[in-house]
Amino acid sequence: MSKPVLKVAKDEPLSIEVRIADMHDADELAAMNLEFNGVNVGTRHILNELAKSREIVVVAAVNGSVAGFACATITTCAPMFSKVIGVSLEKTRSH
Above pLDDT 70, what percent of the chain? 71
- How confident is the model over 19-48, as pLDDT tens digits? 999 999 999 999 998 998 898 999 999 999
pTM: 0.64
Residue 66 has pLDDT above 80, yes or no: yes
CA angle 45, 41, 50 (to 5 degrees): 35
Which residue, 82, 20, 90, 17, is CA-closest to 55?
20
